[in-house]
A and B are shown apart, each in its own frame.
Chain A
Amino acid sequence: MSDENPKLSRFSVVRLIGARTLRLIGFVGGMSVLFMGAMYVILMSAFSRKYHVDVAALARQVVRIAIRSLGIVCLVQIFIGVILALQLEPTLKDFGQESQIASIIGIGGFRMLGPIITAVVLSGFAGASIAAEIGTMVVSEEIEAMEAMALNPVRFLVVPRLIATFLAMLLLTPIADLMIALGGYVTARLVLGPTVYSEYWQLMRRMLEYKDFWTGMIQAGVFGILISLIACREGLLVHGGAEGVGKATTMTVVNSIVAIVAAAGVCTVIFYVFKL
């Protein structure tokens, strides 16, 4: 065995890269198929009763995803504001620019931190619970029962969760943006002194442009779609009982965070190229 080892390991690296590449292609492909299926249902729901989306189910999902996570999103974002303010202050003070804390927090919060941190919180809060819920339904044959009753799981499960997560991100992100700003202001008020807080809001309003807000909102929407698609996909792919459900929730959070950061990177490049 031992004399074959170097050859074997060289091949196993190739094999590993190959396997990971295939898995990535499968992941992207699966997500696209799910997204297209959901989009088809949403489009068709305007024309055919067969594809109608239950408004009550959608409202339940919005409550579950957006309203219930509101508190934790606010809490996390206030801390982000506090942390930013405290970490920026010493360096900016060296240049006598500590009042610029407001503009940095404003732009950083609205453009990136607001949406991305909200998305990360939501992937743990809502994504994991969606995956666990759908995974449990797979294990208890509910999905099979659904298909046998000629009910489309994409219409029944994926679409309400997709729309709800998308809406949740759009609802939560502006609140999150404000919370970051508020966190910075509170810190200034309590710790950093009047040079920072006296013109905090005026300075932030002067530096912020509309595009800072809506580029953040575009990303928020993209993150929302990614989180729900990943959660639904992981849930629907569950096999092997309760253990599979546990794996699916973990993979949902891991994949969501990777996807969120990757999507943020792509969005940022696009915004940079188009000078947004």
Chain B
Amino acid sequence: MPVQQNPVPPVITVRDLVKRFDGRAVLDGVNLDVYPGEMLVIMGGSGCGKSTLLRQIIGASQPDEGYVELFGQKLGDMNDDEFDDACKRFGILFQSGALFNSMTIGENVALPLREHTDLDEETIEIMVKIKLEQVGLRQAEYLMPAEISGGMKKRAGLARATALDPEVLFYDEPSAGLDPVTSAEIDVLMMDMAQKLGVASVVVTHEMDSAFRIADRMIMLDKGKVLMNDTRQAFEKIRDGEPTGDETTDLIRQFLRGDCEGPITRRRQSSGYEEDILQFAGDWR
């Protein structure tokens, strides 16, 4: 698989990452790089390990093998202070927005500024207004998270994630639970952020419309492995082409098109059915 040669060093490097839960490898030797300013979409079916991968990259859990490098430094080698500093250089938009429900939208956005900068209250106030304006939420500054819609929560979460002007933004299923129009709006906002702030974006999603709209580069995960890591154009070619007979390509094609027939469904139907039945019978014997 061709990986583009890039003269600038990557902001994130993942090498041979393995993560097991109860002996089952959820991530099975994942390699990827994220370069400054690019929009990388990580796709895959439910349970393919994409959320686990995201948690690994942000240091929320430890890998069993391999390593993650953030801004040129290995996660495992960082002490607490260095890790905190790295955390301030990336922002995360969680699936539900993850706003603090006991604070207003404005306070949510102000929190990282209050905690991690020495800015005075007035400056923070102005910055909060700017950040909220960027996501079109200035009028919601004094509302509580419970009083706004799901789409607005994501916008507010994005405003908070960008409060410290991060170099990388992570999005965990940004269109989950949103109607198509709101979802498209969030997509536009994400591209906007990438252009205006020049941040690298890592988007975990299985919404193909959204993925093709925003991606520069895409990664297809399956059973904890990277099946394909290429430009959006290359993925579009597979999606729009005919089945090739090659198992991997057809699997990707089925996923991208959302077909109900193909390698993914075949695999699901045939896997271990006989063994299951025989095992079941064995229990009764």
Chain A residues with a Cβ under 8 A of chain B: 136-137, 140-142, 144-151
Contact of B94 with A149 in the complex, beta carbons under 8 Å = no
With A141-B96, A141-B98 known as contacts, the answer to whether A149 contacts B60 (CB < 8 A) is no
Contact of B92 with A150 in the complex, beta carbons under 8 Å = no
The reply to whether the CB of B66 lies closer than 8 angstroms to some CB of chain A is: no
A140: chain B residues within 8 A (beta carbon): 96, 98, 101
Which of A137, A142, A148, A150 contacts B60 (CB under 8 A)?
A: A148
B52: chain A residues within 8 A (beta carbon): none
Contact of A145 with B115 in the complex, beta carbons under 8 Å = no
Most buried by B among A137, A140, A142, A149: A149
Interface bin, chain B:
20 to 34
Most buried by A among B83, B98, B99: B98
With A149-B112, A150-B116 known as contacts, the answer to whether A144 contacts B88 (CB < 8 A) is no
The 17 sampled A-B contact pairs (Cβ below 8 Å) are A136-B101, A137-B100, A140-B101, A142-B101, A144-B60, A145-B94, A145-B100, A146-B100, A148-B58, A148-B60, A148-B92, A149-B87, A150-B83, A150-B85, A150-B88, A150-B115, A151-B112
B99: chain A residues within 8 A (beta carbon): 142
B249: chain A residues within 8 A (beta carbon): none
Which of B83, B94, B160 contacts A141 (CB under 8 A)?
A: B94
B87: chain A residues within 8 A (beta carbon): 147-150
CB distance from B124 to the nearest CB of A (A): 15
A145: chain B residues within 8 A (beta carbon): 92, 94, 98, 100
The reply to whether the CB of B111 lies closer than 8 angstroms to some CB of chain A is: yes
The reply to whether the CB of B84 lies closer than 8 angstroms to some CB of chain A is: yes
Which of B94, B100, B112 contacts A144 (CB under 8 A)?
A: B94
Which chain B residue shows the least CB distance to A145?
A: B98
Which chain B residue shows the least CB distance to A147?
A: B60
Interface mask (B55-99 → A, CB under 8 Å = 1, otherwise 0): 000101000000000000000000000011101101010111011
A129–B85 CA distance with the chains assembled, in angstroms: 33
With A148-B92, A150-B84, A150-B116 known as contacts, the answer to whether A142 contacts B100 (CB < 8 A) is yes
A149–B94 CA distance with the chains assembled, in angstroms: 12
B96: chain A residues within 8 A (beta carbon): 140-141
B111: chain A residues within 8 A (beta carbon): 149, 151
Nearest 9 pairs between A and B by C-beta?
A145-B98, A150-B87, A150-B84, A141-B98, A141-B94, A148-B92, A142-B98, A149-B112, A140-B96
Contact of A141 with B95 in the complex, beta carbons under 8 Å = yes
A151: chain B residues within 8 A (beta carbon): 111-112, 115
CB distance from A155 to the nearest CB of B (A): 10
A263–B280 CA distance with the chains assembled, in angstroms: 50
B111-130 interface with A by 8 A CB criterion: 111-112, 115-116
A150–B160 CA distance with the chains assembled, in angstroms: 13
A150: chain B residues within 8 A (beta carbon): 83-85, 87-88, 115-116
B183-236 interface with A by 8 A CB criterion: none
A145–B157 CA distance with the chains assembled, in angstroms: 10
A148–B100 CA distance with the chains assembled, in angstroms: 13
A145–B153 CA distance with the chains assembled, in angstroms: 14
A55–B60 CA distance with the chains assembled, in angstroms: 29
A141–B60 CA distance with the chains assembled, in angstroms: 12
B84: chain A residues within 8 A (beta carbon): 150
B94: chain A residues within 8 A (beta carbon): 141, 144-145
A140–B160 CA distance with the chains assembled, in angstroms: 16
Which chain B residue shows the least CB distance to A149?
A: B112
A101–B126 CA distance with the chains assembled, in angstroms: 66
B131-188 interface with A by 8 A CB criterion: 160
CB distance from B158 to the nearest CB of A (A): 12
Task: With A141-B98, A149-B115, A151-B111 given, name 13 new contacts (CB 8 A).
Answer: A137-B100, A137-B101, A140-B96, A140-B98, A142-B99, A144-B94, A145-B94, A146-B100, A148-B60, A148-B87, A148-B92, A150-B83, A150-B87
Which chain A residue shows the least CB distance to B58?
A: A148
CB distance from B151 to the nearest CB of A (A): 16
A137–B85 CA distance with the chains assembled, in angstroms: 24
A146: chain B residues within 8 A (beta carbon): 100
A142: chain B residues within 8 A (beta carbon): 98-101
CB distance from B3 to the nearest CB of A (A): 28
A135–B60 CA distance with the chains assembled, in angstroms: 18
A150–B82 CA distance with the chains assembled, in angstroms: 10
B115: chain A residues within 8 A (beta carbon): 149-151
CB distance from B174 to the nearest CB of A (A): 14
A136–B101 CA distance with the chains assembled, in angstroms: 10
Which chain B residue shows the least CB distance to A133?
A: B102
